[in-house]
Amino acid sequence: MIKTATKVNQNHHLVIFFKDKTSHQAIAQVLPTEWSNLVKSFRSAKHVGPKKSRMIQTGLDPKAPRLVLVNLGETASVPLFRNLVGDVARQLRSEGTVQWLSVESISDWECHLSQVIPMSLYSIPHQKSSKKDEQGVGSHIVITSQKSVVNDGRIVGDAVNKARSFAHMPANILTTSQFVDDIKALFKGDPRYQVTVLNESALKKKKMHALLGVGQGSIHPSYLVDITYKGGGTEAIGIIGKGVMFDTGGISIKPSRNMKEMKGDMGGAAAVVATAWAVGQLKLKRNVSFIVPIVENMVSADAQRPGDVVVASNGTSIEITNTDAEGRLILADALVYASKKKLACMLDIATLTGASTIALGPYAISVLGNHQGVVDQLLAASMTYNERCWQLPLFDEYQELLRSDVADILNANEGREAGTITAAKFLEQFVGDVPWAHLDIASTMSVSATKGDQVKGMTGAGTRALISFLLQYRAK
C-alpha cells in the first residue's frame, strides 16, 4: 500500500535521498530534532559514501524506527535513483511502515518512487504446495504535496506487475480460453470498456487465415480479443499485442534449452491488457482499441508446415518458411483488423525476434515504424518512465529479403540478415495507411537476476512505454 503525507512521523522508518554535498541544514529542515542530530553525527564521521545507503538506529529498542540515508552521489540520475529505491525497498520489505523523502530535485521523483516500490516488491505467482505467505510488505508513505503524481506512479507500477503475472503463468493453466476469460473478468462492470471476442468461427468469416494457421496444431482454440476503451474525444489509437500463450516453434521446433520461457511469448499481449487496465485507473481522456490475437503454437499432425501458403485477411499471400516466425503472422491479421478502424495511429508490441537481443542486448526495446512523428513521440514518452527504446531503420530495400517465388511475401528471410528489421518490414505490409510503430520486446522480456526495479523473471516489458505514449500522444 502506498499513501502520501506532508510531514515525517517519528513512529515509522524513514528513507532520505540526498547528494554528496547536500548541507546538513537542508536535511535538518525536514526531520525531528533528535533524528537531525543523529544524521549530523553520522555524516560527520564520513560513514556515508556516494551511491550507498546506510541505516541508523534511532533508539535502544531493536524495534525502534530507523533512518536510511541514501547518497545519490553528485548526479541524481533517474536510473540510479530507481535502482536504489528498489534495493532499499527490498531491504525493508518486512519492516512495517516506511516513509520516503528526497531533499533533492529529481525529475518526477515521486512518480518514479511510487512505481518502483510495487515493482521491486513483486512476487512471482506460484503453484507450490506450501502456501506460506511472503513476509509482510507493510505500508509505504511518500512525503510530498503531489498526491496525484504518487497515485499515478503506483498505478503504472501495478500495471507492470499485472503484465508480469500474466507472462509468468504456466501455459497449461493460462490457456488461450482462460486468458480470454481473465480479460473479460478484468473489465467486467466498467461501462467505459467493451470487450469483443472473436472465436475461430468468427475469425474464419473474417478470413484471418494467417492467425488461424499458427494455432491449428493446438488443442486450444485461437481468438482475437478487442478491448475498446471509451475515454472521450474524437480520435482513437490502436494498441495491438502478440498473444502466443506458448511457442514451441511449431515444426521448426526450438531447442529445448530455456524453452520453458516461451510461456512468456504472450508478453506483448500481457503488456497491452495491463495498459488497458491502467488507462482506466488513470482516467485517460481518449478512445483506445486494445487488440490481442491469442493462439498457441504447437507441434502436431495438424500443425502448419514450412512451405505452406496462407492468405491473410487483406488478401496478401504468405509463404511459410519458418513456423517459428509465428508472431508476425497473428499480428498481420490483427493489424489489418485494427487498420479498418478510424485510428489516429497504432502501435504493436511483441516478443518477436531473437535478433533484437543480438542488436541491442537486454538494455533496450527495438522500435521501428512507417511514421517518424509517431516513432519520435514513442521514443520520448518511453523515457518518462525510464523504459529505454531505440529506433532501427525500415528502408524499402529490406523488402527484397522477403521476396517469395510462390506468394506475395515470405513470413521470414531464411538467411541471418536484419532479422528484427525484416520482421517489422513484414508487419508493415498489413498496416495500410495508418501511422504505425512496432516495439520488439524479445530482448527485454525477462531478466536473470533481481536488481533495482527488476525482479528475476518476466519483466512486463513495454507496459510503461505504452502507458506513457497514450498519456502524451498528440496527432501531428
Active site residues: 254, 328
**Which residue, among 443, 463, 133, has the nearest Cα to 290 in the 3D structure?**
463
Under a CB-based contact definition with an 8 Å cutoff, are residues 296 and 211 in contact?
Answer: no
Give residue 360's identity as a one-letter amino acid code: L
- Say which residues have a Cβ less than 8 Å from residue 115's Cβ, sequence separation at least 6: 82, 153, 154, 156, 157, 160, 385, 453, 464
Q: What are phi and psi of 350, to 5 degrees?
A: -160, 145
Query: How far apart are alpha carbons 6 and 304 in whole angstroms?
Result: 61
Query: How far apart are alpha carbons 229 and 168 in whole angstroms?
Result: 26
Grid coordinates standing for 184? 473479460
**Which residue, among 150, 74, 76, has the nearest Cα to 113 in the 3D structure?**
150
Reported as half-sphere exposure (CB side, CA atoms, 13 A), residue 186 has a value of 23
Q: What are phi and psi of 159, to 5 degrees?
A: -65, -40
Under a CB-based contact definition with an 8 Å cutoff, are residues 251 and 318 in contact?
Answer: no
CA distances from 188 to 148, 159, 193, 227, 238 (A): 26, 17, 8, 11, 21
Query: How far apart are alpha carbons 468 and 172 in whole angstroms?
Result: 33
Give residue 449's identity as a one-letter amino acid code: A
Query: How far apart are alpha carbons 162 and 122 in whole angstroms?
Result: 10
Grid coordinates standing for 177? 480460453
CB atoms near residue 18 (< 10 Å):
22
